[in-house]
Amino acid sequence: MAIEADTGIRGKRRTAMARVEQLVARSGVGVPRVPCWESSQLPMPTVFLAASVFGMAPVNATPVVVHKMPLEASAGCTAVYSGRLLHQGHGDLAMALLALAGGSELGTSLTVRACDVERVLDLKPGARNRESLRALLSDLSGAQLDVTWGNEQIFGTLLPFGHRKDDVYRLDVNPDLIRLASGGFTMVTRGAREGLARKPLAAWLQLHTAWLESQGVRAIELAELHRLSRSTMELRMLRFRTYAALDSLRAVGERTWELHEDDWLRAG
């Protein structure tokens, strides 16, 4: 993803950022920037996982639109959401955009081509994927999130503004949502993520268990996973599907957890 190409605008932006850096240097706060990652990794803000922003519904599931609905957030986090409920396809796109934005200043307008997203997510070029990208971006632009985590609260849309001409997008990210990700980012391997396409439960477990381990949590009850994932299936069916999802994770080389007879999922 490239910063806005217009040299006049870019020059003004650099001057403005230099002034901000001078002021911030005096205060000792620091200028927030999107970190850089290795090309083999995809980043997900921890706060998005704590707030269960991306559920495990299938990509082709019937859209569900809600207004000011409390999300099934983890302990210490509350989240209220309006818009189409987001799934792992939206999560993949969010990670791709963050990966492409690596190293840039927060709050800037970013330019990305459809082929850039396809490259990051290892998608084959085609009209169907381009249509899907447009729909997913529209969903993110209408996603209104109000999150309280610890002593911080932020609210706003995930993508405040977007513009498309042909297959080139100019997007404004919400800097406060990323700034709230001071709790860090959960990283997943891109190659493994590609192998979990069209496997929403396995993809959801990949992110959630990686986050739990980063928090020092090595066991969680299946009923709690059922709640956090916003699964509509019965618990007994989720139990059966979880065994299959863990097999899928092992097949792509992920260090997985084990589901035990007491219905607790434990790190292996």
pTM for the whole structure: 0.82
Q: Which domain holds residue 157?
A: 2-19+29-198
- Please give the pLDDT value at position 75: 87
- Strands 144-149 and 161-165, how do they pair? unpaired
220 contacts 258 by C-beta, under 8 angstroms: no
Q: At what angle do helices 127-141 and 114-121 cross, to 10 degrees?
A: 100
Residues 6+ apart with CB under 8 A from 49: 74, 186, 207, 208, 211
- Please give the pLDDT value at position 103: 63
Q: How confident is the model at residue 55 (pLDDT cuts 50, 70, 90)?
A: very high
Amino acid present at 2: A
Mean pLDDT of the chain: 82
pLDDT per position as a tens digit, 153-166: 888 888 888 899 98
Residue 155 included in any domain: yes
Q: In the beta sheet, which residues pair with residue 44?
A: 186
Nearest alpha-carbon partner for 218 in 258, 173, 176: 258
Nearest alpha-carbon partner for 188 in 54, 86, 41, 75: 41
Residue 114 included in any domain: yes
Residue 226 included in any domain: no
Residue 144 included in any domain: yes
113 contacts 169 by C-beta, under 8 angstroms: yes
Q: What is the spatial order of strands in the sheet that 257-259 belongs to?
A: 219-221, 264-267, 257-259
Residue 248 included in any domain: no
pLDDT per position as a tens digit, 215-238: 899 999 999 999 999 988 899 999
Domains: count for the chain: 1
- Strands 77-84 and 161-165, how do they pair? unpaired
Residue 33 included in any domain: yes
Residue 97 included in any domain: yes
The overall longest dimension of the chain from CA atoms, in Å, is 64
Q: How confident is the model at residue 193 (pLDDT cuts 50, 70, 90)?
A: very high
Residue 127 included in any domain: yes
